[in-house]
Chains A and B, each alone.
Chain A
Amino acid sequence: MKLELIGITKRFGSLVANDSIDLVVEPGQVHSLLGENGAGKSTLMNVLYGLYDPTEGEIRVDDKPVTFRGPGDAMAAGIGMVHQHFMLVPVFTVAENVALGNEAVRGGGMLNLQETRTRIRRISDQYGFDVDPDAVVEDLPVGVQQRVEIIKALVRNAEVLILDEPTAVLTPKETDELLGIMAQLTADGKSIVFISHKLREVKAVSDVITVIRRGKVVGTADPSAPTTELASLMVGRSVSLTLDKKPATPGEVTFRVRDLTVQADNGQRVVDGLSFDVAEGEILAIAGVQGNGQTELTEAIMGLQDHVTGSITLGGNELVGRKVKDVIRAGVGFVPEDRSVEGLVGTFSVAENLILNRYDDAPFARGLSMSPSAVEKNADEKIAEFDVRTQSASAAAGTLSGGNQQKVVMAREFSRPLKLFIASQPTRGVDVGSIEFLHRRIVAERDGGTPVIIVSTELDEVLELADRIAVLYRGRLMGIVPGTVSRDVLGLMMAGMPADEALAQAHDVQGGNL
């Protein structure tokens, strides 16, 4: 099936989210859409999937113009979409999920799940999905859940599959498997629209790359084009993808974690016997697939976790058992992983968010009374210093773009003298331009002699910032390796292999290749 988008324009009020975009997806192709957050990729896909009406332009399927009045029409035309957030009912089985909305029925409206099971098995065997139709979805690993989504689309005879940021939630191994599946699907004549901002994956898998910037197609690129070229196409100016970072000059070890164990409310050990040190003037990155104890580790340091045993010392002072406020007062700066949930109060003004954890300190408050002028002055300074793009200091923080929200959080944390800086997913959902800025600030903080801990699930970020890398797997430390280690080693460690084995195996593989 050949899919064409011709001159698609989508306006929201005065904003042009898509500006006469042309796109042709040939059968058997992987067509990648590359662009920053907010470039208009998702809007375009929502148009294609019938969720939005295009303001102008038309969609053609096999040279015939079509209009989609909803996802149902799009699906009927052979377009399937795998959303970044899976649309699955967790307590249903795979078969039930696949049947939902497309139920095979016997006479009298009885569900015929057997029919669905058969179809799932057929597709599963054809592409080597290895999915059990009777497994309950919530028990499946993320990668398999994603395959269920793909099966859902295939059962409905999708010829064009839209994959929206499909690798964001996968381990490196699962990512490789997905790329394999994509190759099989295209070999079978299906075409795939692949949306991502991860340059490496896009290069690896694409037949054609279309780069979108600010709602416009700014060019198509060959998958063999150098990464820097793609990045500058995406951003619109040359970007230094490699951070200009001096080697670390680690000083005294002031932050120590010993035998740290965190138990979840159900008694499970989500952080299991961690011990590590961070010295002044170095960045320790904590890598791992999301959900392997990173969140709980940072929260334990901040005093946000309840069942913590072991010891965390900063400059000789024990932090375990202290209140959050005491930890902040002890000089710990913290950028939480989800700025909109933990980092900011969306309905508060930018100015208020800039003092969210200092509201009762001088000069912002005297006794119980707060000083609006001091709050305002601080806001003006920080907005200028961090180049926060906001209408005014009194604008609600929730109205800012992700990058600017993150700048507000960072500005707040860097606005007091720090003895330890922790940033969780510091650049998640942040545009490339801001990433550069935020990374430089983090490195500057390190160079100022602060111990820095970065938690990130993005290998690129980890490799760029880290002086040393600790990998967490199921709450346990797989080892700490130098920042110069190869991706393969990190990938193995993230999948649960201890550092020494991973180093040895990666070495073997390289040896074998030679």
Chain B
Amino acid sequence: MTPQDDRPVPPATDGGAPLTRRQAKDTARQDEVRLENAVETAGGELPPPAVPAPAGTAAAPESTLLQRIMTGNALVAFLSVVLSLILGGLLIALTDPNVARASSYFFGRPQDTLGAAWTAASGAYSALFQGSVFNVRGESFSQRIYPLTQTLTVATPLICAGLGVALAFRAGLFNIGAQGQILIGATFAGWVGFTLHLPAGIHLLLVILAGMVGGAVWAGLVGLLKARTGAHEVILTIMFNYIATNLVLYFLSTPAFQRPGSTNPISPQLDATALYPPLLGSAFRLHWGFVVAVLATVFVWWLLNRSTVGFELRAVGANASAARTAGVNVSRGYILAMAIAGALAGLAGVAQVSGTEKVLTSGVAASFGFDAITVALLGRSSPWGTFAAGILFGAFRAGGVAMQASTGTSIDIVLVVQSLIVLFIAAPPLVRALFRLPAPGAPRAGKGGTTTRTPASTGAAA
């Protein structure tokens, strides 16, 4: 709106620029949705007229896409998992040598092929289950539940980092940087763990704190850059991942991080005082880091749903301009959200370096930082959803190893299943179409014979 200018600009609230075809289509859709809503909100003698969105129909497409992915319903998430498992099963069957052999005489005896396929898929999934939840062939109780504790151990960093990604999502930030944040957090925590020699209790506390600070600083920088310069957090976090990866490699090439007398890129073992104590005795790898993950989940739930900070962050994420108008400091919100997200990813780094691995290597973060994005997506960025998704992915990872060992099915199949889950979650219309679910908030098509056409040509030929 520039009055000096000779052209009175069309009202900003009316979308400013002429609508694109896509937007026009959305507007038409939205009108329908509004009408629908009007029915639902109607009450009393005078139902409120359905008012087509007078403005803002052309809301930022980026945030709506993000919100659409993040707020997809739980059913879609569940069906995505089921669908992925089915496709994964098909893939297992197709790559199975017995199936391949039987298929050579498929038209003679198809039941052989189908039977072999069933055996392959069910055998692999059964191994996956036994490797991740309950080992029926275990001799003692602890042997039987050992897989479950393995699952929880692997889930611990996934949950922590997933919470970080989810929290950033809720503040409207696509945090791709959990990987880097875990690495830096682990580096800070590890250094404190093997360089300082402190009494038990204090040492671990300091290690945890260092890991959180490391992650918070690394992610907070991204928040700061976004708030100050408007740089996009996706680009920033991706680049920060590269920097972190190579920074850790560099650190591990310096004597300060290497074992005395060695030039291998591996740090000394962390002091015993810096390690998470085992949670269920030394027979299991499960450590107190899991309890920390549970506490972190409770904390994030409280932060998002019961605290003023969470209210601010959610407002910034859902509608930054309304938040700004309501007096929320949006820049501070970005920095804070990223810092907290980084601290949570840092916790994941601590869980690795001082729980599972006990040393700092360049591979300490494995691919947890990227899996965390999937976990947050699957958990629909709610704290407990992320917790549950973290455990599911922990099970995939723990069980995948057992599956490969016992049935020879490649662990890569598990990765395929995981990736398919993301694919389906990112494309909810696909899952809805496959299972014939109604679109959220869409008119109940069919009942009223509603067919909405896309005004594809209005823009061009009106």
Q: A residues bordering B, Cβ < 8 Å?
A: 11-15, 17, 36-39, 42-43, 46, 49-53, 55, 69-72, 75, 80-90, 100-102, 138-142, 145, 149, 152-153, 156, 168-169, 171, 214, 264, 266, 268-270, 272, 289-293, 295-296, 302, 304, 323-325, 327-329, 334, 336-338, 340-348, 352, 356-357, 359-360, 365, 368-370, 372, 389-391, 395, 399-404, 425, 428-431, 433, 457, 473-476
Contact = CB atoms under 8 A, between A and B. Distances in A.
A293 B40 CA distance: 39
Contacts, number: 315
A13 B41 contact: no
- Residue of A140, A336, A359 ringed by the most chain B CB atoms within 10 A: A359
B31 to A, nearest CB: 6
B54 A342 contact: no
Contact of B40 (A304, A359, A372, A391): A391
B61 interface: no
Interface in B302-347: 306-309, 311-312, 314-315, 318-319, 321-329
B110 interface: no
Nearest to A340: B56
Nearest to A348: B318
Nearest to A76: B461
A149 B321 contact: no
A370 B304 CA distance: 11
B33 to A, nearest CB: 9
Contacts of B311: 352, 359-360, 370
B48 to A, nearest CB: 4
Contacts of B3: 268-270, 272, 291-293, 473-476
Contacts of A100: 459-461
Contact of B52 (A38, A83, A360, A372): A38
Contacts of A81: 458, 462
B41 A395 contact: yes
Nearest to B37: A399
A83 B14 contact: no
Would you call the interface of chain B mostly helix, strand, loop, or mixed?
loop
Interface string B1-17: 11111111111111101
B455 interface: yes
A400 B50 CA distance: 8
Given A13-B444, A295-B1, A325 B327 contact: yes
B38 to A, nearest CB: 6
Closest 4 CB pairs of A and B: A101-B460, A429-B54, A474-B3, A38-B49
B7 A70 contact: no
A191 B438 CA distance: 41
20 contacts: A36-B49, A49-B455, A52-B28, A55-B450, A72-B457, A72-B461, A81-B458, A81-B462, A83-B24, A85-B14, A87-B18, A87-B460, A101-B461, A145-B10, A323-B329, A347-B71, A369-B307, A370-B311, A395-B41, A399-B40
Contact of B326 (A72, A140, A356): A356
Given A12-B32, A368-B309, A401-B50, A53 B18 contact: no
A476 B34 CA distance: 39
A13 B448 CA distance: 5
B453 A336 contact: no
B259 to A, nearest CB: 44
B67 interface: yes
Given A290-B11, A348-B318, A399-B37, A153 B462 contact: yes
B55 A429 contact: yes
Contacts of B39: 13-15
A391 B4 contact: no
B94 interface: no
B136 interface: no
A15 B2 contact: no
Contacts of B15: 85
Contact of B308 (A84, A328, A338, A359): A359
Nearest to B67: A347
Contact of B462 (A11, A152, A168, A327): A152
- Residue of A141, A292, A389 ringed by the most chain B CB atoms within 10 A: A389
A39 B327 contact: no
B461 A102 contact: yes
Contact of A341 (B4, B44, B59, B326): B59
B308 to A, nearest CB: 4
Contacts of B315: 345, 348, 356
A328 B327 contact: yes
B282 interface: no
A171 to B, nearest CB: 7
Contacts of B11: 168-169, 290-291, 457
Contact of B10 (A15, A89, A142, A430): A142
Contacts of A292: 1, 3, 8
B46 interface: yes
A138 B5 CA distance: 12
B21 to A, nearest CB: 8
B449 A11 contact: yes
B38 A15 contact: yes
- Residue of A80, A304, A356, A475 ringed by the most chain B CB atoms within 10 A: A356
Given A42-B31, A101-B460, A345-B323, A270 B55 contact: no
B10 A343 contact: no
A476 B41 CA distance: 43
A37 B306 CA distance: 37
Given A43-B31, A51-B28, A90-B17, A296 B1 contact: yes
B447 interface: yes
Contacts of A336: 325
Contacts of A345: 314-315, 318-319, 322-323
A86 to B, nearest CB: 4
B229 interface: no
Nearest to A89: B18
B198 interface: no
Contacts of A340: 53-56, 59
Contacts of B324: 304, 324, 342
Given A70-B456, A264-B2, A389-B43, A87 B19 contact: yes
A399 B39 CA distance: 11
Nearest to B17: A90
A291 B54 contact: no
A293 B12 CA distance: 12
B325 A389 contact: no
A38 B51 contact: yes
A316 B397 CA distance: 66
A141 B325 contact: no
A71 B462 contact: yes
Contacts of A140: 7
Contacts of B37: 399-401
A87 B49 contact: no
A334 B327 CA distance: 11
- Residue of A38, A102, A169 ringed by the most chain B CB atoms within 10 A: A38
A168 B2 CA distance: 19
A85 B19 contact: yes
A38 B38 contact: yes
A391 B42 CA distance: 8
B325 A324 contact: yes
A52 B453 contact: yes
Contact of B461 (A75, A272, A352, A369): A75
Given A70-B453, A291-B12, A346-B319, 18 more contacts: A38-B38, A42-B31, A52-B452, A87-B19, A101-B459, A142-B8, A268-B4, A291-B11, A292-B1, A293-B3, A324-B325, A340-B59, A341-B322, A368-B309, A401-B51, A404-B41, A431-B49, A475-B3
A28 B461 CA distance: 23
B446 to A, nearest CB: 9
A362 B444 CA distance: 43
